[in-house]
A and B are shown apart, each in its own frame.
Chain A
């Protein structure tokens, strides 16, 4: 790699060639503010707060647009730079409403944080602020089905404009009018309609674009913990962060408060789609299964696990036994399994051992994988393509030896299972579906088979009370993806881990443990104590594959946000995790201020006579 060496504030810094001075400063932990710059989109050079002094250049330069060169001497702390920067901050705040107490961004707002550090203590602006409220006009407006736009707060960094143009490939956002009257707008006020719209809240450095989902729901300091996890709503496997709201045990409402993308250059970059971002409410929703249930006549009755398990064992034994006298064979197993590709690799691994223990090496023939596909409406040239397959682990199932047909490229084939059930050859169906409602596609035929008696026994292990679950004889409450440490293999074949952010509700259990308990009750020697045990066993049986080191994949736990900014948009967080801390903490000790005298670290107040 070709490198260049430059000096920033007297500190020699070596960076890859082609990096800008701002990027070099961020890498070296030198604090330079910025708004229009975002690592995922093109450089604009318009906000002007990243100005630095570069020797031999007559004017101050914007560091975001200046390429590093060998021998360059950069200063970010000289008085003229400090003054110029403070001047730009005064301009930025001249018309900003400063409604931070009611703004959702307050507390994780780059405009707040940088202004405190670099801005003047006082504004000399004594004219009324520019507002977009007027006759028939509101500053705070609907901005499409997922977003709200507050024009008063906007500082016109145009990150949103560039995101839509460059990443989404549909330039729905533009600026109308010019000069001080410029405002962010969409054509004919129709708002943003995009599968990637949620990213606009992340790129917005102020509270101008907010998602309706998160609006007024929490404050950053009420979200003290965050878990690095993986989205499981399609086969892309975006790396995400699950944000948890702090609340007392007795308080109502969800703990999972939002999902944000987590930077992974190989999978999702800085972004995630709206499906993954907004479709998490089912996890703590009304229809969530909280305890196991057994059928008593027409109703499903809550049952304790220890009561349910022997009854389930007996019914399964009966189902297997009843058909042994008939033409029981490998081709027509009496107990069949319908498994959603939302099942994690660990669950599929345990299930494989279970069916092979019961039916021998051909046991996997009794298992049918199911998932759904849908075409996502996206512009042709989009830089972020959402996968067609609405399940995270088709590839994981294939790697374990399950029959998945064309895999992510195709649709599941349930015809053999359906004809076996509808012809009355099957004594029991065990469904494993830890995904949201609808993960298995159409199940009406299965419900009908159970209700008209063609299928004598239906067991559903899942997370949500689906129509299928309400037709079942046994309902086993499992866990959703944010409630377990689990592996999923995305459409690139990458083995990725989701992490347990919250505990399963009520008496719901980890899905692997339900399968293990079932196996043990049927006399199989499945000795797993924890999820990591399963993962280790899986790793041991699959040497020379990516799974061999799966037990080394980090299992993350909710971590305390080290700084308010960590509870911020993903690009800010990414800097914290990968590019060191380039932002000073709002309060407390700052690593980067070590060794710098307070005089130099603070910008002198500018007094006006």
Chain B
């Protein structure tokens, strides 16, 4: 294992790690903000650009560039929206940061607001994270009381308010424009782009939407310099990274590492190896929406670029590890059950297609499938990919296309033999919620 000292999660095990006192005492708390306020906003953006910080939410878009696109010459206010609607299956890193290290996020929000010229930051938190919201709000109160938020922060003349808004429980609210719609009090459905949020976002004002982990890295960059950040990890993939390892591993959890770390190291060194020491079959490396990788990819570094080269995406770094007991048809059906339930229903291909895909997969998995269903499955998926309003459609079709491409034999076995290759016991132990 490459020696690595956690930075983002260095103290999350301490009982008081969430408190302001702890943050100031042990983590150089709000020093980044103090330093940032002595500089020009443009300099902050330049530093973030130089650092090569890439969005941790899924797309891996350079954060500095995103901030630079935020419209400057406008009479309208600007906004920072922190995307804390962590809903991607297999992803649970932002939860840890917000629950155990909330001030890092609050500081990141303040610096980001300063950098783009906003004075309000909204943290849009997932509906199910009720207790996290309570912690965050309590800590925001303390940050106000200590003068790190509010009017004239640290005597600099800069004002910044941070509000927490809890969603009502929709995966789609994690899409940046749907998040903005939801924040405005509407249904969480995506908007057509362009215009992008950087031009017309929240209340049609210039807005930057950033993931929690992304914003948490900002104080570190300001404090330690962009070179420190970019030096940690492969080129263009710098900085600390949180990995959510789940599935068939001995110790599932959030692990912090540099992006030099390979998938094999994450599974066998960090997460303690395969559950029950069964053979590794495949891994979904970036949350449920990305293509699977096979054993031959295990030595791929878990960086944005390397995973992409291997044919998948790092996404939100939710590593779902699968051992040889997993039926790939069942996997696809399980995931499509989720996507079908979460499709917002705004655009036609996603609304109708996800439902159709799920029905097809359920039929095949149930042993009722016919040979033509496999082509149909492929055809329906292809009719969704690239035709939807937001990336949801692509995400929903990916599990089907990926499992069909890599494990076609399993699908054919279901259709030909009318049954699954897995034992009935295993199925009984892994029930899929009934469709409703």
Give residues in A with beta carbon < 8 Å to B.
43-49, 51, 59-60, 62, 65, 84, 87-88, 90-92, 94-95, 124-125, 127, 130, 155-156, 158, 174-175, 177-182, 608-609
Give the 10 A-B CB pairs with smallest separation, nearest first. A87-B383, A180-B355, A182-B345, A179-B343, A45-B192, A91-B352, A65-B192, A46-B347, A179-B345, A178-B345
Given A48-B387, A88-B387, A127-B359, verify A180-B348 contact (CB < 8 Å). no
Q: Which residues of chain B are near A84, meaning CB under 8 Å?
A: 383, 386-387
0/1 interface trace, chain B 341-352, chain A, CB 8 Å (1 if under): 111111111011
User: Of the candidates A49, A59, A130, which one forms a contact with B348 in the assembled complex, judged by CB atoms under 8 Å apart?
Assistant: A49
- Smallest CB gap from B170: residue in A: A178
Within 8 A of A (CB), among B330-375: 340-349, 351-356, 359, 372, 375
Q: Which residues of chain B are near A91, meaning CB under 8 Å?
A: 348-349, 351-353, 356, 383
Asked whether B379 is an interface residue with its Cβ less than 8 Å from the other chain, the reply is yes
Asked whether B389 is an interface residue with its Cβ less than 8 Å from the other chain, the reply is yes
Q: In whole Å, how far is A158's beta carbon from the nearest beta carbon of chain B? A: 8
Asked whether B376 is an interface residue with its Cβ less than 8 Å from the other chain, the reply is yes
User: Of the candidates A48, A179, A609, which one forms a contact with B375 in the assembled complex, judged by CB atoms under 8 Å apart?
Assistant: A609
> How far is A179 from B341 in the complex, measured between Cα atoms in Å?
7
Q: List 12 A-B contacts (CB under 8 A).
A: A44-B192, A45-B192, A46-B348, A48-B347, A48-B389, A87-B349, A88-B349, A88-B383, A91-B383, A156-B345, A178-B170, A180-B340
Determine whether the beta carbon of B354 is less than 8 Å from that of A180: yes
Give residues in B with beta carbon < 8 Å to A.
170, 172, 187, 192, 340-349, 351-356, 359, 372, 375-376, 379-380, 382-383, 386-389
- Smallest CB gap from B347: residue in A: A46
Q: Which residues of chain B are near A92, meaning CB under 8 Å?
A: 348, 352
- Smallest CB gap from B358: residue in A: A180
Supply 20 further A-B pairs (C-beta < 8 A) apart from A91-B383, A180-B352: A48-B347, A48-B387, A49-B348, A65-B192, A90-B383, A91-B353, A92-B348, A94-B352, A124-B379, A130-B355, A178-B343, A179-B343, A179-B345, A179-B351, A180-B343, A182-B345, A608-B372, A608-B375, A608-B376, A609-B372
> How far is A515 from B370 in the complex, measured between Cα atoms in Å?
80
By DSSP majority rule, is chain A's interface helix, strand, loop, or mixed?
A: loop
Determine whether the beta carbon of A48 is less than 8 Å from that of B388: yes
Q: Which residues of chain B are near A60, meaning CB under 8 Å?
A: 386-387
> How far is A241 from B367 in the complex, measured between Cα atoms in Å?
57
Given A94-B356, A124-B376, A125-B356, verify A182-B351 contact (CB < 8 Å). yes
> How far is A30 from B403 in the complex, measured between Cα atoms in Å?
40
Q: Which residues of chain B are near A175, meaning CB under 8 Å?
A: 187, 345
By DSSP majority rule, is chain B's interface helix, strand, loop, or mixed?
A: helix
Determine whether the beta carbon of B356 is less than 8 Å from that of A51: no
Determine whether the beta carbon of B345 is less than 8 Å from that of A181: yes
Q: Which residues of chain A are near B349, meaning CB under 8 Å?
A: 48, 87-88, 91
Determine whether the beta carbon of A48 is less than 8 Å from that of B352: no
Q: Which residues of chain B are near A59, meaning CB under 8 Å?
A: 386
Q: Which residues of chain A are near B372, meaning CB under 8 Å?
A: 608-609
Q: Which residues of chain B are near A127, meaning CB under 8 Å?
A: 356, 359
Q: Which residues of chain B are near A156, meaning CB under 8 Å?
A: 345-346, 348, 351
- Smallest CB gap from B356: residue in A: A94
> How far is A130 from B355 in the complex, measured between Cα atoms in Å?
10
Q: Which residues of chain B are near A94, meaning CB under 8 Å?
A: 352, 356
Determine whether the beta carbon of A179 is less than 8 Å from that of B355: yes
Q: In whole Å, how far is B212's beta carbon from the nearest beta carbon of chain A? A: 25
User: Which residue of A45, A62, A130 has the most chain B CB atoms within 10 A of its CB atom?
Assistant: A45
> How far is A331 from B348 in the complex, measured between Cα atoms in Å?
72
Q: Which residues of chain A are near B379, meaning CB under 8 Å?
A: 124, 608
Given A46-B347, A88-B348, A91-B348, verify A179-B383 contact (CB < 8 Å). no
Q: Which residues of chain B are near A125, meaning CB under 8 Å?
A: 356
> How far is A92 from B353 in the complex, measured between Cα atoms in Å?
10
Q: Which residues of chain A are near B355, meaning CB under 8 Å?
A: 130, 179-180
> How far is A434 from B394 in the complex, measured between Cα atoms in Å?
63
Q: In whole Å, how far is B169's beta carbon from the nearest beta carbon of chain A? A: 11
> How far is A92 from B356 in the complex, measured between Cα atoms in Å?
12
- Smallest CB gap from B187: residue in A: A175
Q: Which residues of chain B are near A87, meaning CB under 8 Å?
A: 349, 382-383, 387
Q: In whole Å, how far is B69's beta carbon from the nearest beta carbon of chain A? A: 18
Determine whether the beta carbon of B383 is less than 8 Å from that of A46: no
- Smallest CB gap from B359: residue in A: A127
Q: Which residues of chain B are near A155, meaning CB under 8 Å?
A: 348
Q: In whole Å, how far is A544's beta carbon from the nearest beta carbon of chain B? A: 47
Given A127-B359, A608-B376, verify A95-B352 contact (CB < 8 Å). yes
> How far is A30 from B187 in the complex, measured between Cα atoms in Å?
35
Determine whether the beta carbon of A178 is less than 8 Å from that of B375: no
Q: In whole Å, how far is B353's beta carbon from the nearest beta carbon of chain A? A: 6
Q: In whole Å, how far is B232's beta carbon from the nearest beta carbon of chain A? A: 32
> How far is A177 from B349 in the complex, measured between Cα atoms in Å?
17
- Smallest CB gap from A128: residue in B: B359
> How far is A43 from B103 in the complex, measured between Cα atoms in Å?
41
> How far is A44 from B190 in the complex, measured between Cα atoms in Å?
10
Q: Which residues of chain B are near A44, meaning CB under 8 Å?
A: 192
Determine whether the beta carbon of B192 is less than 8 Å from that of A62: yes
Q: In whole Å, how far is B99's beta carbon from the nearest beta carbon of chain A? A: 28
